[in-house]
Chains A and B, each alone.
Chain A
């Protein structure tokens, strides 16, 4: 094969505020005539700079680029650059854009040629439209057509499809391959998306982190069309990812998000999990380890922010089972050795140091506080590494049901249209988005717990006594059902949040900061802790409306995590519910698929098991709010503390009678029965009502 592009020892640096910055450090490679070469590398590694040098827009400090043997110093129409942002002129119509680069033709000929290429990329009928009237994918087609119409010998593509939604991206890849099979071009593609590279290219070069250097080269000796779920493609993908990640094993959370993609053909699966948060990711990991064919569709692109930062000891079993424990330990999350409660009217705090849970195989007496954006990202990537097919940025509109109400798949938005992804079982792990809960009207909000939270991350929070500094601290506040959390996220960062009744909560436009400071000031324990605190970002607010679902499973569908139920986060139960429901769902799905019966009946056991745990949480929280002081007095007693430990460490999913809950119920009944009891006035009527309705 004749050499088309030769890159020789290219180096480039910039002067930044922090001194000189080497961006590209001695890159050399060649691209053959008609060859498709992809360059992958971590984000911000200098890929785009390298591309701009090769395309002739930037001069290298050292080294040279030769096209057809002649050194190149400026861009030319021989090689057209297509970048992530795109450069379709917004002030020209589609036809005018396509005619832009054509010269030496009569106007009529130009227009005919332009329309011909518009038709090739599927834009027939849009010739007179302006770009702002088109979707993102269509504008990308305009850009591709505008490049092709001048018959360039080379296409330089710099993250060409990265700004598109996941399915449009996949469709554009298909279009590109189809066009390349008809018109031969040399293509140099730069991408962070390993699967895109393996999907399209003849050869994949791997760049190191900045300064960029080529550290490996892979031949993709597979014929087109390539099946992305085939073992060969996956093997190659894993090998390339390994090379990419090998540079930075210590920070897995920053590694290329490209680790998880899927092909349109490969989306159909036995199980489709909607939502890639902890519930979806853990279920994915369980199913992957069991060899169940499944796909995770997530609307977000991780990492993404999320509140709910504390784990419970009992959940550790789940992480052990899916092989994730090591990643948590490596991830430098803060260990949580216990929980500490303060009450605004009590002098002394009450402590619960965690203990191992031998019957669950949990030996360490701690759990973790986690930055959820990092944690959830690592968890989803773990699922992908176990074999989950993950598609990020996929907007699921609804679950598709057949005439008998059986779930048969999900409708995913794709550009302007929709695509049906088929599945035998659909799992709703959309969290508080409650996809199925809304669609099937299963959702019942809990009238007594209509709460709001205001929270943020702070520096300079005094975490109190050294031995409990890294515990979770919960401060009971004077208002009805009001409390505050204090969670150490890292050595210097503390998450602090206020939860209260929505009636007491500032309405839109009111001063969140004032509300927050007043709530902090109302706690004699928290106020001095926050004296020197500096917020790291604006305060966030969100609704904490508790809800339950009429059913947790049906014909061909299940709910897991927050999508199944949301309870007040007072006892850090959120991730516990996510993990345990995913665990139970995985078992139920395996046996349902093995028996060939995915009807509602097959998930009866799952519903029962999950309800046991959820109801325990719900009752416990209701009892707590009925009289927080009763809970604290029991916790202060060594014998009662051991009864409560089971629930407080999250061990509520194995069935049983939960003696701690019974003990608290009895204690409150005692106060209720005693007209002279000093705490009687503190009994919360609302919480009592909620117990009845539960």
Chain B
């Protein structure tokens, strides 16, 4: 009940936006810009001929592959950099320099190295999401409170226990935050990458719809679907914050 009530204002604003959109299109008599209803029929068209699922599947596959690769590299590397001071001092300046370079700037090099197949966007996604996760993991290790490390030292536990029961669980909430950021960036980047090189994916859908006959109803349908999937992906990552052993770090909800 209260959730429904909380959602009410934003639903109202969306409805208002759609109404204004509709009214403006009708009032100006635009031949190209679609009405909301045309977007709906366009979407139905995409669903019926099955291309929508192909595009979504292609985009998600690329994001998943690139993102998981980034996780596999970033988490161990971040832990190592956080724990070993020399590693941090050596690698951190390099990563800090690479981090602010927009993934879009990597596109020409990605095409040069990996061609126009799936490898290019996967590489771009990897590049864009690996740095935030390294940074979060490293700072997670650095911010482990001394009292916990002292307690581990006090009980004289083995190195493997120290890592598996203290360091990694202590950093896990930060890693999850890094993953949320990383996946968000990855989804942004996949669409941009697909607009340039590929013949499948939601980014391609948008560019292709425009180029092949000014189908702006499909452009907008693609945009809305990208937004919705982005929201879903973030929702999936947020589920990770509900794992019992990381709840201590987030707001207490019990």
Query: From B168, which residue of chain A is reached at the shortest CB distance?
Result: A91
- Using an 8 Å CB-CB cutoff, how does the interface string of B163-195 with A read, 1 for contact, 0 for none? 001100110100000000000000000000000
Query: From A131, which residue of chain B is reached at the shortest CB distance?
Result: B248
Query: From B152, which residue of chain A is reached at the shortest CB distance?
Result: A100
- Using an 8 Å CB-CB cutoff, how does the interface string of A72-92 with B read, 1 for contact, 0 for none? 001111001101011101111
Nearest Cβ on chain B to A185's Cβ, whole angstroms: 15
- Which of B32-40, B127-135, B239-247 is the contact stretch? B239-247
Q: How far is the CA of A76 from the CA of B151 in the complex (A)?
A: 10
Q: Does B30 contact A (CB under 8 A)?
A: no
Q: A130-B248, A132-B252 are in contact. Are A87 and B157 (CB under 8 A)?
A: no
Contact A101 B147 (CB under 8 A): no
Contact B165 A92 (CB under 8 A): yes
Query: From B165, which residue of chain A is reached at the shortest CB distance?
Result: A100
- Complex interface: chain B residues within 8 A of A133 (CB): 254
Count class of interface residues, chain A: 20 to 34
Contact A101 B155 (CB under 8 A): yes
Q: How far is the CA of A101 from the CA of B156 in the complex (A)?
A: 7
Query: From B155, which residue of chain A is reached at the shortest CB distance?
Result: A101
Q: Does A14 contact B (CB under 8 A)?
A: no
Q: In the complex, which of the residues B150, B165, B170 contacts A81, with contact meaning CB atoms closer than 8 Å?
A: B150
Nearest Cβ on chain B to A431's Cβ, whole angstroms: 32
Contact A89 B165 (CB under 8 A): yes
Q: Does A57 contact B (CB under 8 A)?
A: yes
- Complex interface: chain A residues within 8 A of B156 (CB): 75-77, 101
Task: Give residues 145-164 of B contacting A (CB, 8 Å).
Answer: 147-148, 150-158, 161
Contact A80 B147 (CB under 8 A): no
Contact B157 A132 (CB under 8 A): no
Q: A130-B247, A131-B248, A132-B252 are in contact. Are A89 and B148 (CB under 8 A)?
A: yes
- Using an 8 Å CB-CB cutoff, how does the interface string of A546-585 with B read, 1 for contact, 0 for none? 0000000000000000000000000000000000000000
**Secondary structure of the B side of the interface?**
helix
Most buried by A among B151, B152, B161, B169: B151
Contact A130 B245 (CB under 8 A): yes
Contact A101 B157 (CB under 8 A): yes
Q: A91-B245, A130-B245 are in contact. Are A85 and B147 (CB under 8 A)?
A: yes
- Complex interface: chain A residues within 8 A of B161 (CB): 100, 103
Count class of interface residues, chain B: 20 to 34
- Complex interface: chain B residues within 8 A of A76 (CB): 154, 156
Contact A132 B154 (CB under 8 A): no
Query: From A86, which residue of chain B is reached at the shortest CB distance?
Result: B147
Q: In the complex, which of the residues A57, A77, A91, A100 contacts B170, with contact meaning CB atoms closer than 8 Å?
A: A91
Q: How far is the CA of A158 from the CA of B115 in the complex (A)?
A: 64
Q: A91-B248, A131-B248 are in contact. Are A81 and B169 (CB under 8 A)?
A: no
Contact A80 B155 (CB under 8 A): yes
Contact B254 A91 (CB under 8 A): no
Most buried by A among B154, B245, B249, B254: B154
Most buried by B among A57, A83, A91, A101: A91
- Complex interface: chain B residues within 8 A of A55 (CB): 154
Q: Does A150 contact B (CB under 8 A)?
A: yes
Q: A76-B156, A80-B155, A92-B165 are in contact. Are A132 and B150 (CB under 8 A)?
A: no
Q: How far is the CA of A96 from the CA of B161 in the complex (A)?
A: 12
Contact A57 B150 (CB under 8 A): yes
- Complex interface: chain A residues within 8 A of B248 (CB): 90-91, 130-132
Q: A87-B148, A89-B169, A91-B172 are in contact. Are A100 and B254 (CB under 8 A)?
A: no
Tell me the number of A-to-B contacts counted with CB atoms below 8 Å: 65
Contact B150 A150 (CB under 8 A): no
Query: From A52, which residue of chain B is reached at the shortest CB distance?
Result: B150
Query: From B149, which residue of chain A is reached at the shortest CB distance?
Result: A87
Contact B157 A81 (CB under 8 A): no
Task: Give residues 484-540 of A contacting B (CB, 8 Å).
Answer: none
Q: How far is the CA of A81 from the CA of B249 in the complex (A)?
A: 24
- Complex interface: chain A residues within 8 A of B147 (CB): 83, 85-87
Contact A75 B244 (CB under 8 A): no
Nearest Cβ on chain A to B1's Cβ, whole angstroms: 27
Q: How far is the CA of A444 from the CA of B139 in the complex (A)?
A: 57
Q: How far is the CA of A85 from the CA of B148 in the complex (A)?
A: 11
Contact A132 B254 (CB under 8 A): yes
Most buried by B among A81, A86, A131, A132: A132
Task: Give residues 51-77 of B contacting A (CB, 8 Å).
Answer: none
Most buried by A among B148, B155, B157, B252: B155
Query: From B169, which residue of chain A is reached at the shortest CB distance?
Result: A91
Nearest Cβ on chain B to A200's Cβ, whole angstroms: 22
Q: How far is the CA of A76 from the CA of B252 in the complex (A)?
A: 34
Nearest Cβ on chain A to B145's Cβ, whole angstroms: 8
Q: How far is the CA of A681 from the CA of B149 in the complex (A)?
A: 74
Q: How far is the CA of A254 from the CA of B152 in the complex (A)?
A: 36
Task: Give residues 101-159 of A contacting B (CB, 8 Å).
Answer: 101, 103, 130-133, 150
Nearest Cβ on chain B to A397's Cβ, whole angstroms: 23
Query: From A143, which residue of chain B is reached at the shortest CB distance?
Result: B151
Q: How far is the CA of A91 from the CA of B243 in the complex (A)?
A: 10
Q: How far is the CA of A55 from the CA of B155 in the complex (A)?
A: 12
Q: In the complex, which of the residues A81, A91, A103 contacts B246, with contact meaning CB atoms closer than 8 Å?
A: A91
- Complex interface: chain B residues within 8 A of A103 (CB): 157-158, 161
- Complex interface: chain A residues within 8 A of B172 (CB): 91
Contact B244 A130 (CB under 8 A): yes
Q: In the complex, which of the residues A57, A74, A85, A89 contacts B166, with contact meaning CB atoms closer than 8 Å?
A: A89
Nearest Cβ on chain B to A95's Cβ, whole angstroms: 13
Query: From B150, which residue of chain A is reached at the shortest CB distance?
Result: A57
Nearest Cβ on chain A to B34's Cβ, whole angstroms: 44
Q: How far is the CA of A85 from the CA of B247 in the complex (A)?
A: 19
Nearest Cβ on chain A to B250's Cβ, whole angstroms: 10
Nearest Cβ on chain B to A575's Cβ, whole angstroms: 41
Q: How far is the CA of A103 from the CA of B147 in the complex (A)?
A: 21
Nearest Cβ on chain B to A160's Cβ, whole angstroms: 13
Q: How far is the CA of A57 from the CA of B151 in the complex (A)?
A: 10
- Complex interface: chain B residues within 8 A of A57 (CB): 150, 153
Q: In the complex, which of the residues B155, B245, B252 contacts A77, with contact meaning CB atoms closer than 8 Å?
A: B155
- Using an 8 Å CB-CB cutoff, how does the interface string of B215-254 with A read, 1 for contact, 0 for none? 0000000000000000000000000000011111100101
Q: How far is the CA of A90 from the CA of B244 in the complex (A)?
A: 10
Q: A76-B156, A100-B165 are in contact. Are A87 and B245 (CB under 8 A)?
A: no
Q: How far is the CA of A397 from the CA of B58 in the complex (A)?
A: 63
Q: How far is the CA of A80 from the CA of B150 in the complex (A)?
A: 10
- Complex interface: chain A residues within 8 A of B154 (CB): 55, 75-77, 80-81
Q: How far is the CA of A164 from the CA of B151 in the complex (A)?
A: 20
25 CB < 8 A contacts A-B:
A55-B154, A57-B153, A74-B153, A76-B154, A76-B156, A80-B154, A80-B155, A81-B150, A81-B151, A89-B148, A89-B151, A89-B166, A90-B248, A91-B169, A91-B170, A91-B245, A91-B246, A100-B152, A100-B155, A100-B161, A100-B165, A101-B156, A130-B244, A130-B247, A150-B155
Closest 10 CB pairs of A and B: A101-B155, A90-B248, A87-B151, A91-B169, A87-B147, A91-B245, A75-B154, A77-B156, A132-B248, A77-B155
**Which B positions have Cβ atoms within 8 angstroms of A?**
147-148, 150-158, 161, 165-166, 169-170, 172, 244-249, 252, 254
Given contacts A89-B169, A132-B252, 5 further A-B contacts (CB under 8 A): A77-B156, A100-B157, A103-B161, A130-B248, A150-B155
